[in-house]
Structure 1
């Protein structure tokens, strides 16, 4: 695993009377919550920290990597949270030498989830990214052991799993690749390897899985009959790695099994581990030893803060989905996949706009209905639309590109480029009450969602233009920004569903 192990918390200062000052025990009802990740995904862990020595031990377990500006960072309290969960196939560790011939390899991005937590903390989506997806890996600045930064050249069209490990790429390179692919910048990352699977499943006394048919795979050494099983250690790793024992021996089928396994593990955490101090400490110790995270969440308080933000999400509102893909048409023998150009942008747009795969709150629906009412009403003729275009997207030339498109293709001649504005995540359109008909026309042309509409309290002057600020969701002039009103069918499944693997 890349990066140096470090101890994040200093020892408590000595007591002036010569005794070591102890941290006061936390109330029993108040549990700290951790999240772990990797090839197994993510697990909520409850830890009651009753002694400084326990805290210090757990804190010292954690490995960190400095990924620079690849991580979004910032507050875990405000806005949606996006965590990149990375499972490396590095073969280091006892018993792992039989899994392949990658001696001294740093591994690849073998299993990857983009875990999106909604702004209101009512729902979450775990989006699997296929390892064999052909995509662009951008140039990647990578921290070196001597403190310098080396830029690793990207690749315009290669397998996603090469975004980590190959040519010295660190998890920050995978984060940059995910941002390039989805338009979503991860806030943080969590990574674990083969050993983590064995350690964590053993720490919780196994994970329950169900098989519709028997599976036997000589490569992963998995041999299970149809029906229910509790698996841990080497057997759990074999279950997650199994591919050749499945129907078409594809990574896409393996992803489905991994999602079912992780959902089962989450259920066990909530039902059997939280509230059991012995199990919680055992798991917390295993979790913190297995994790490698970015330096922004590289200590117990920060991991606890992350856990507290997402602890209340109901299992039925945690959805597993996979990036929509199709066979690579350039290959005679199908070994890789490419994006489904219709469904993939819809899924990415949902996460970008914090749209849930589940229906969670009636009040939320009512609020959205009020917002959408802004788009109902009369439309002005395009010749009457007056607008100043500002670029807050961070994309060079976005305002000029939009202006040319508006004037030459849409007939909005009363428009001007006002150049750069402070960077913002979402596109916005500010207008006066007497400009509502113009605003609706422009929203129709550009595919602006209701949330982009920003009505002012005062009337605009007769010749005053509206203010359009392009945000981080801008994808090009003429490309709609409006997210889908409901989730496309991409085979998503809730974490509360118990499904037998095929």
Structure 2
């Protein structure tokens, strides 16, 4: 229906298991050969399912570029043929289970710049329960949650922009500015942690994590807050701004969560961190990060990549 998809190989491949046989460089694959390309596991990378995911993402990205270049997504005739093939080949959710709904979806995709279409792989780590066997993997507890938080907040993995409403809001700009400036060392951060609506034991968990894993030794558990808060908040004095920015970095706090006071702190007076219902667990960013975690495996649809 698409007319073939361009793929690129860094080296020639002759895989008897998947029956993929292609020269180095670019080739156009369709039908059984296309299926062999997305199936092969022993031809690229470390021969794992995770590396196979990369070439499947590259294939779909190339297919999107092909459909956009020949105006498949803008031609009713071509779109009908594509949707007809898809409904015969796939079992899909009822929300897009008809030719009409698939063509409507494709028209929307056609308006999106390929550079803003990203395929990401769930970040994983070796399964700690297996010791040194390294047979299976589990989600990376920090990076995976950060990726999910970005998805929930509708934050782009490629072209990160503020939402239009935020860009026009002076209040949002002021909140974002609170994160700009120098940072204290972790050892200089002094904070009392209160539970203002998170699950029981969260304040203690946070203090343990801050002290044992982040070097924030001047942190203490203040137990329950006088009243619950709708979201996690960090209250600090103007002369504690450096400490606040450092703590915001460690916890993944947004500028909106930082609440500066008007009077400077005196002596060893600590900042006050009140954990709200948005706090999930220590080490998981409270707010969605503005950019994808370092090292996350992703493929952008506008880039042609040669499988290695």
Aligned to 1:235: 33
Deviation of 1:217 after TM superposition, in Å, equals 1.1
- In structure 2, C-alpha distance between the alignment counterparts of 1:331 and 1:214, rounded to whole Å: 36
Cross-structure match for 2:280: 475
Separation in structure 2 between the aligned mates of residue 303 and residue 454 of structure 1, nearest angstrom: 44
The correspondence of residues 372-451 of structure 1 with structure 2, limited to 5 A, is 372-374=176-178, 389-390=196-197, 398=199, 400-402=200-202, 410-412=220-222, 415-416=225-226, 428-429=231-232, 437=237, 444=247, 447=251, 449-450=253-254
Kindly report which structure 2 residues correspond to 1:219-368, keeping only aligned pairs within 5 A, or say none.
Answer: 219-272=17-70, 273-299=72-98, 303=102, 306-307=105-106, 310-328=109-127, 330=130, 335-340=135-140, 343-361=143-161, 366=167
Residue aligned with 1:293, SS? coil
Is contact 1:327-1:334 (8 Å) kept? yes
8 Å Cα contact 1:317-1:360 kept in structure 2: no
How big is the shift at 1:493?
A: 3.0
Q: Which of 295, 299, 302 pairs up with 1:489?
A: 295
Q: 1:362 and 1:389, CA in 2 relative to 1: closer, same or farther beyond 3 A?
A: closer
Query: Greater RCO between the two (CA within 8 Å, min separation 6)?
Result: 2
Distance 1:305 1:470, change over 3 A: farther
What per-residue deviation string (whole Å, max 9, x for no partner) do you get for residues 298-352 of structure 1?
Answer: 4566556655655432111222332333555637665433445564444444334
Q: Which structure 1 residue ranges, 5 or more long, are not aligned?
A: 1-202, 392-397, 422-426, 456-464
Higher helix fraction (1 or 2): 2
Q: Could you tell me how far apart the structure 2 residues matched to 1:328 and 1:404 are?
A: 27
Tell me the distance in 1 between the aligned counterparts of 2:159 and 2:30: 34
Which has a greater percent of strand?
1
Give the distance between the partners of 1:370 and 1:469, measured in 2 at CA.
22
Pairing 1:213–2:11 present? yes
1:162-211 Cα shifts (integer Å, max 9, x gaps): xxxxxxxxxxxxxxxxxxxxxxxxxxxxxxxxxxxxxxxxx111111121
Distance (whole Å) between structure 1 residues aligned to residue 67 and residue 33 of structure 2: 19
RMSD of aligned alpha carbons = 4.3
CA–CA separation in structure 2 for the residues paired with 1:285 and 1:328: 42
SS in 2 for 1:208: strand
TM-score, normalization: structure 1? 0.44
User: For the structure 1 residues 478 and 327, does the alpha-carbon distance in structure 2 shift closer, same or farther, using more than 3 Å as the test?
Assistant: closer
Counterpart-to-counterpart distance in 2, 1:304 and 1:415: 53
Count of equivalent residues:
268
1:262 is paired with a residue whose SS is helix
Tell whether the 8 Å contact from 1:212 to 1:226 is kept in structure 2 after alignment: yes
Change beyond 3 A, Cα 1:490–1:388: closer
